Structure 1
Amino acid sequence: MQEHDISWVRTEMALAETAPRSQTGLGAWVRKNLFATPFDSVLTIIALLAVASFLPRILDWLFFSAVWTGTDRTACLTTEQGGQLPAGWSGACWPFVSGRFGQFMFGRYPMDERWRVVLTGILFILLLAPLLIPRAPFKKLNAILFFGVFPFVAFLLLVGGAFGLRYVETPLWGGLMVTLVISYVGIVVSLPLGIILALGRRSHMPIVKLLSVIFIETVRGVPLVTVLFMASFMLPLFVPPGTSFDKLLRALIGVALFASAYMAEVVRGGLQAIPKGQYEGADSLGLGYWPKMGLIIMPQALKLVIPGIVNTFIGMFKDTTLVLIISMFDLLGVVKQNISGDPTWATPQTAKTGYIFAAAIFWVFCFGMSRYSQYMERRLDTGHKR
């Protein structure tokens, strides 16, 4: 047999080479994301000019010309030296925020009992953090504690009336505390209820499908304000006469039902995106309906609609401000109440500062949820690689 020359064939793996300098570093990122095309360059320049025009004024109002100490509105009526604002104007009135910070966080919750709210918040963070960390151990136990045990512990701590704890009625609750309570209950209830409604809408049983469609379309066809009014004024009519129905509980039911209807449509979109072969493969394994949905279909569907789920959570978190119409004072409601009902701090600067503080709190929570959802999308993006 004639031998062939194979000297041109590589016998060792080529060593990895570093990427060209033009493709790495800050300069490459700027060229790729800000100046990739002439149109992108024009938009980038316009944006930079806008930022250069407004950002110094905003920073000046928020910090450099702001008032940091004072006991009443008079401290916020004069311009401090060194600012760029017109004479007779001051910047942000931060003494208002520091002086009313306790009310912004706890509402009218008794001061000597606020340690219970703080303890509840600490327990919430300690139980939630391991759930958000993918590699944290004891996930099942942690989930049981967070979703099954924590609500009862939180109710006992916040409401009291047992184990020597003073009873604190819910009309005294307010501020960020109410915002987080409503959001937590809405999120915990809306996701499983939305999954059930989505499965019901895709069910082959006519009665189940009809009831699911009626509920979803009815709730989605009215604004949250209407749902809150119905929960506040109509729901007590369906309970026996003389039954005490807490106002906060009515708001929790209204928000949870409203969010579950939107969540059902988000989940249904994920179910429709699953290829038919996945259903057929599960059937070929002899799986029943619930094992098929729980082990094969639903995990894939939920992974696909993470953005929609988090978007619903963010919308619900912001919509908690609407409970003000049924005389429940969340963070924004308490800020507004202190601005309009307290002549000690009645100035335009006080109002602007209070609303900016509330907006900053909402932004921090919403931005955190958004960033975490993006992290989970990247982590779970294993079946749809580009």
Structure 2
Amino acid sequence: MATEFKTYVRQEMVPPSPAPAGQIGPTAWIRKNLLATPKDVVLTILAIALLAYILPGIIDWLFIHAVWTGTSRVACLTVSQGGALPDGTVGACWAVVGAKFQQFIFGRYPSEEIWRPITVMVVFALLLVPMLMPKAPFKVTNAILLFIVLPVVSFFLLIGGFGLEHVETARWGGLMITLILSFFGIAVSLPVGIILALGRRSTMPVIKMLCVVFIEVIRGIPLITVLFMASVMLPLFLPDGWTFDKLLRALVGVSIFSSAYMAEVIRGGLQAIPKGQFEGADSLGLSYWQKIWLIILPQAIKLVIPGIVNTFIGLFKDTSLVSIIGMFDLLGIVVLNLSDSNWATPVTAVTGLVFAGFVYWLFCFSMSRYSHFMERHLDTGHKH
């Protein structure tokens, strides 16, 4: 008796089933990250209790009882202090930030010429955004405009020339100085740091010794000392009649200091590259510079992106030290304006420092998030 066997072959793939409801969504995230173990539950409850204790007071001071408008210190004083606010209800004095906002951003730059730094900031943003987008076209042209053309044009636009009123750098200040120092320091420290790191690993004794001495000497002294020497000591070694602008001295000092630290970050990435990568490049017949620029450096820089961005963030915050040489960045101009008797109140100083801290945090957090984005974008191997 013959038995027939029929074979059924599926002609279409089964569509993927949706994930279980308990494995996706906010509830699943909370269960996985906040309530996974008894210890997590206890820590979550303690964190919520702490936030419930401190957040209401912070929100009340920052927003609810804050003073947003006013023309003098009277707007931020209570009745017992000579103002009009009810006693016990004084919050942040944001009115002082509104009144001093232009100085916080541009320093003592002439009001009628404010359009010049605003133009520079707008053009800088328009060139920076596509530069940070990995798939944006014309990267080389964009880089030339951002790192070569824009600094030259901005210098003449900000300081004056070609019919524009001359504005000496001593009148520059605020966030504008912070951004100028940070951008110049970042733009210089990365390539110089790469050269120093390669020089420190060089087989030529003279080159290696010079790079080692430069890196160790600069890293062994604080930034304040570097700025002081660039501002005070450097002119003593120049010929009679020669001088450098104070801002230029600060730019040189900040760039030298950050380059030494960047060199060590890059050197860490170079040492992390397996020896086989060097041998593979040599087996292809590549020259030294072809091997470095095409094979080694792209991998090394990808490995040390967190360290590079950490150096950039430190540089951005360290620009506040230029006050030692008589320049006023964002923090310096905020502190300077706190001495204005027209706005002297018990909360003015705290409000100004909170504003400065928020601006610093905003820029530093943005750099941090972008570094995470680039890490994910460049993570083509070694995935977990």
Q: Structure 1 length as normaliser, TM-score?
A: 0.94
Q: Residue 312 of structure 1: CA displacement?
A: 0.4
- Aligned residue for 1:217? 216
- Aligned residue for 1:34? 34
Q: Residue 242 of structure 1: CA displacement?
A: 1.5
Q: Is the 8 A contact 1:274 1:301 kept in 2?
A: yes
User: Is 180-189 or 11-20 further displaced after alignment?
Assistant: 11-20
- Amino acid in structure 1 at the alignment position of 2:69: T
RMSD of aligned alpha carbons: 1.9
Give, in whole Å, the separation in 1 of the partners of 2:382 and 2:14.
30
Give, in whole Å, the separation in 2 of the partners of 1:367 and 1:23.
30
- Matching of residues 326-345 of structure 1 within 5 Å: 326-340=325-339, 342-345=340-343
Q: Is the 8 A contact 2:69 2:98 kept in 1?
A: no
Equivalent in 363, 366, 372 of residue 368 of structure 1: 366
- Change in CA separation of 1:223 and 1:9 when aligned onto 2, cut-off 3 Å: farther
- Matching of residues 229-308 of structure 1 within 5 Å: 229-308=228-307
- Change in CA separation of 1:6 and 1:322 when aligned onto 2, cut-off 3 Å: farther
Give, in whole Å, the separation in 2 of the partners of 1:262 and 1:86.
52
Q: Residue 11 of structure 1: CA displacement?
A: 7.1
Q: Residue 12 of structure 1: CA displacement?
A: 5.5
- Aligned residue for 1:105? 105
Secondary structure in 2 aligned to 1:100?
helix
Q: Residue 130 of structure 1: CA displacement?
A: 0.6
- Amino acid in structure 2 at the alignment position of 1:168: V
Q: Deviations over 1:109-135 (max 9, x none)?
A: 111111000000011001111111111
Q: Is the 8 A contact 1:131 1:142 kept in 2?
A: yes
Q: Deviations over 1:255-294 (max 9, x none)?
A: 1111011100110111111111110111011111111100
Q: Is the 8 A contact 2:189 2:255 kept in 1?
A: yes
Give, in whole Å, the separation in 1 of the partners of 2:376 and 2:7.
44
List 4+ stretches of structure 1 deviating above 6 A: 8-11
Aligned residues: 377
- Change in CA separation of 1:130 and 1:307 when aligned onto 2, cut-off 3 Å: same
- Amino acid in structure 1 at the alignment position of 2:366: G
Q: Is the 8 A contact 1:259 1:316 kept in 2?
A: yes
- Aligned residue for 1:94? 94
Q: Deviations over 1:119-162 (max 9, x none)?
A: 000110011111111111111111111111111011111111x2
- Matching of residues 1-386 of structure 1 within 5 Å: 7=7, 13-78=13-78, 87-160=87-160, 162-340=161-339, 342-386=340-384
- Amino acid in structure 2 at the alignment position of 1:357: F
- Change in CA separation of 1:13 and 1:177 when aligned onto 2, cut-off 3 Å: same
- Amino acid in structure 1 at the alignment position of 2:205: P
Q: Is the 8 A contact 1:67 1:91 kept in 2?
A: yes
User: Is 17-26 or 117-126 further displaced after alignment?
Assistant: 17-26
Q: Is the 8 A contact 2:78 2:86 kept in 1?
A: no
Give, in whole Å, the separation in 2 of the partners of 1:228 and 1:43.
45
Q: Residue 13 of structure 1: CA displacement?
A: 3.8
Q: Is the 8 A contact 1:109 1:168 kept in 2?
A: yes
Q: Residue 235 of structure 1: CA displacement?
A: 1.3
Q: Is the 8 A contact 1:77 1:89 kept in 2?
A: no
- Amino acid in structure 2 at the alignment position of 1:63: F
Unaligned runs of 5+ in 2: 80-84
Q: Is the 8 A contact 1:105 1:331 kept in 2?
A: yes
Give, in whole Å, the separation in 1 of the partners of 2:23 and 2:247.
56
Q: Is the 8 A contact 1:77 1:88 kept in 2?
A: no
- Amino acid in structure 2 at the alignment position of 1:359: G
Give, in whole Å, the separation in 1 of the partners of 2:18 and 2:134.
31
- Change in CA separation of 1:10 and 1:151 when aligned onto 2, cut-off 3 Å: same
Q: Residue 10 of structure 1: CA displacement?
A: 7.1
Q: Structure 2 length as normaliser, TM-score?
A: 0.95
Q: Is the 8 A contact 2:185 2:255 kept in 1?
A: yes
Q: Deviations over 1:57-89 (max 9, x none)?
A: 11100111111222111211128xxxxx99345
- Amino acid in structure 2 at the alignment position of 1:95: A
Between the aligned residues of both structures, percent identity stands at 65
Secondary structure in 2 aligned to 1:348?
coil
Q: Residue 345 of structure 1: CA displacement?
A: 0.7
Q: Residue 15 of structure 1: CA displacement?
A: 2.7
Q: Is the 8 A contact 1:77 1:90 kept in 2?
A: yes
Give, in whole Å, the separation in 1 of the partners of 2:19 and 2:350.
50
Q: Is the 8 A contact 1:76 1:90 kept in 2?
A: yes
Q: Is the 8 A contact 1:199 1:268 kept in 2?
A: yes
Unaligned runs of 5+ in 1: 80-84
